[in-house]
């Protein structure tokens, strides 16, 4: 018999399954979730307030499946920690733990690889394998908490893969993280980062959750975006922005836009002014990100160009910042560690 990963279940689903299939009292679900999500206990035998019979039933039917740590890199500069995890089927995924004075952020993956093939991203170069299960998404977060013996208080779906192409499992995992009986992570501390799948952005708006939306834009014209993000052929800039406007109208939430600055490509004053025009009448925050090392060999603009780009946005009334670089001395950019490992194995 194949054991079920208990991390695949949200609270209501787990309670119903335990009650209907094994006659386990409803309150036992609270105890089980407390052990796993609050106390970081991942062995049923150690759940001391459960009866021996309940523990036996759990062991015979479930597993608490965390990914195995294959490799870990820790920045000597700022403590940023990059994980390469191995899943039960041998596939590899990446997660990152980022430390700030007031918060700790987990960046987690939603797919093995990525189908989108953005030119600046190492993940797309290694190809797409499959979507992650709910338990595999949740497991990354719990594995990093366990490894560091900490409570992580912020979560970003910004690792390998496109979250909105694994919509159902991602939202189920959001429910698990947010549920007060489970991880109890405030919805406003959860961000979904997407390249912009218009239909799914609208679906996200319809859920009326307090989670944050971040959209990877990276260009101000379709001609530009086509060159670095093939998904733009299917979902051009105008459709992505329109979906974000609809999202904002339905939720009244500010949308964050990520904008990777590439030397000589999208870093001019004209680009900045076009960005201002794109965001007219919208509530936005723009994160400017000088490009990381990448398969295409794109280079960072000089500080002068970055500062000028930021200055244009701010003077035109756009909230914008240059994202502080983290983990610059390790393979912290998405996909680098997995790509290197796969190359070593081939």
Residue 272: name the closest of 223, 324, 217 by CA. Answer: 217
Over residues 216-247, the pLDDT tens digits come to 999 999 999 999 999 999 999 999 999 999 99
Active-site residue set? 94, 334
| CATH number, position 325 | 3.20.20.70
CB 45 within 8 A of CB 55: yes
Confidence tier at 334 by pLDDT (50, 70, 90): low
Confidence (pLDDT) at 208: 87
**58, 80: one domain:** no
27: number of Cβ within 10 Å: 9
Over residues 14-32, the pLDDT tens digits come to 999 999 999 999 999 999 9
| CATH number, position 12 | 1.10.150.530
Confidence (pLDDT) at 339: 65
Domain end residue (candidates: 48, 63, 78): 63
Confidence (pLDDT) at 127: 87
Confidence (pLDDT) at 297: 86
Bigger pLDDT: 324 or 188? 188
Question: Which region holds residue 286: left if phi is over 0, alpha if psi is between -120 and 50, else beta?
Answer: beta
Instruction: Kindly tell me if the per-residue pLDDT of 335 is higher than 70.
Output: no
Q: To the nearest whole number, what is the mean pLDDT of the chain?
A: 94
**41, 55: one domain:** yes
d(CA 139, CA 5): 10
**57, 82: one domain:** no
**315, 200: one domain:** yes
Over residues 129-158, the pLDDT tens digits come to 999 999 999 999 999 999 999 999 999 999
CB 313 within 8 A of CB 101: no
**144, 23: one domain:** no
Helix/strand/coil (H/E/C) assignment for every residue in 246-305: HHHHHHCCCEEEEEEECCCCCCCHHHHHHHHHHCCCCCEEEEEEECCCCCCCCCCCCHHH
d(CA 296, CA 127): 15
Domain end residue (candidates: 12, 41, 63): 63
Torsion sign, CA atoms 271, 309, 191, 337: positive
Confidence (pLDDT) at 65: 98
Confidence (pLDDT) at 124: 77
Domain end residue (candidates: 63, 78, 103): 63
Confidence tier at 342 by pLDDT (50, 70, 90): low
Angle, vertex CA 247, rays to CA 314 and CA 205, nearest 5: 140
Q: What is the mean pLDDT of residues 311-337?
A: 83
- DSSP alpha helix (H) spans, 24-163: 27-33, 52-61, 122-125, 134-148
Confidence tier at 54 by pLDDT (50, 70, 90): very high
What pTM was computed for the model?
0.94
Confidence (pLDDT) at 343: 55
Over residues 180-202, the pLDDT tens digits come to 999 999 999 999 999 999 999 99
CB 338 within 8 A of CB 123: yes
**54, 74: one domain:** no
**203, 76: one domain:** yes
**215, 262: one domain:** yes
Give the number of domains in the chain.
Answer: 2
What is the percent of the chain where pLDDT is above 70?
Answer: 95
Q: What is the mean pLDDT of residues 80-93?
A: 97
Domain that holds residue 172: 68-345
**15, 101: one domain:** no
Over residues 276-307, the pLDDT tens digits come to 999 998 999 999 999 987 887 889 999 999 99
**307, 176: one domain:** yes
**225, 184: one domain:** yes
Question: Which region holds residue 161: left if phi is over 0, alpha if psi is between -120 and 50, else beta?
Answer: left
- Reduced to 3 states (helix: H, G, I; strand: E, B; else coil), residue 220 is coil
Instruction: Kindly tell me if the per-residue pLDDT of 8 is higher than 80.
Output: yes
**277, 140: one domain:** yes
Max alpha carbon distance in the chain (Å)?
69
């Amino acid at each position: 018999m194949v054991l079920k990963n208990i991390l695949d279940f949200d609270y209501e689903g787990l309670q119903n399954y335990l009650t209907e299939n094994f006659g386990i009292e409803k309150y036992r679900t609270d105890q089980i979730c407390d052990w796993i999500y609050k106390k970081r206990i991942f062995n049923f035998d150690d759940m001391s307030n459960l009866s021996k019979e309940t523990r036996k039933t759990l062991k015979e039917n479930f597993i608490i499946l965390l990914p195995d740590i294959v490799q870990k890199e820790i920045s000597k500069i700022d403590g940023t920690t990059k994980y390469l995890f191995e899943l039960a089927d041998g596939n590899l995924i990446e997660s990152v733990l980022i430390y700030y004075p007031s918060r700790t952020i987990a960046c987690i993956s939603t797919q093995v690889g990525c189908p989108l093939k953005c030119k600046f991203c190492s993940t797309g170069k290694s190809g797409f394998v499959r979507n992650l299960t709910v338990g595999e998404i949740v497991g990354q977060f719990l594995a990093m908490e366990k490894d560091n013996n900490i409570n992580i208080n912020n979560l970003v779906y910004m690792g390998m893969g496109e979250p909105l192409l694994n919509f159902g499992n991602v939202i189920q995992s959001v429910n698990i993280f947010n549920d007060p009986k489970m991880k109890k992570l405030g919805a406003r501390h959860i961000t979904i980062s997407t390249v912009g799948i218009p239909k799914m952005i609208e679906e996200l708006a319809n859920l009326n959750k307090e989670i944050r939306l971040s959209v990877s834009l990276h260009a101000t014209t379709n001609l530009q975006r086509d060159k670095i993000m093939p998904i733009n052929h299917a979902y051009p800039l105008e459709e992505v922005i329109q979906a974000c406007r609809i999202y904002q109208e339905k939720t009244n939430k500010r949308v964050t836009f990520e904008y990777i600055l590439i030397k000589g490509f999208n870093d001019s004053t004209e680009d900045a002014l076009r960005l201002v025009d794109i965001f007219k009448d919208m509530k936005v925050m723009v994160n400017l990100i000088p490009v990381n090392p990448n398969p295409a060999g794109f280079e960072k603009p000089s500080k002068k160009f970055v500062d000028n780009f930021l200055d244009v946005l701010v003077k035109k009334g756009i909230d914008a910042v240059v994202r502080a670089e983290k983990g610059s001395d390790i393979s912290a950019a998405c996909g680098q560690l997995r790509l290197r490992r796969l190359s070593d194995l081939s």
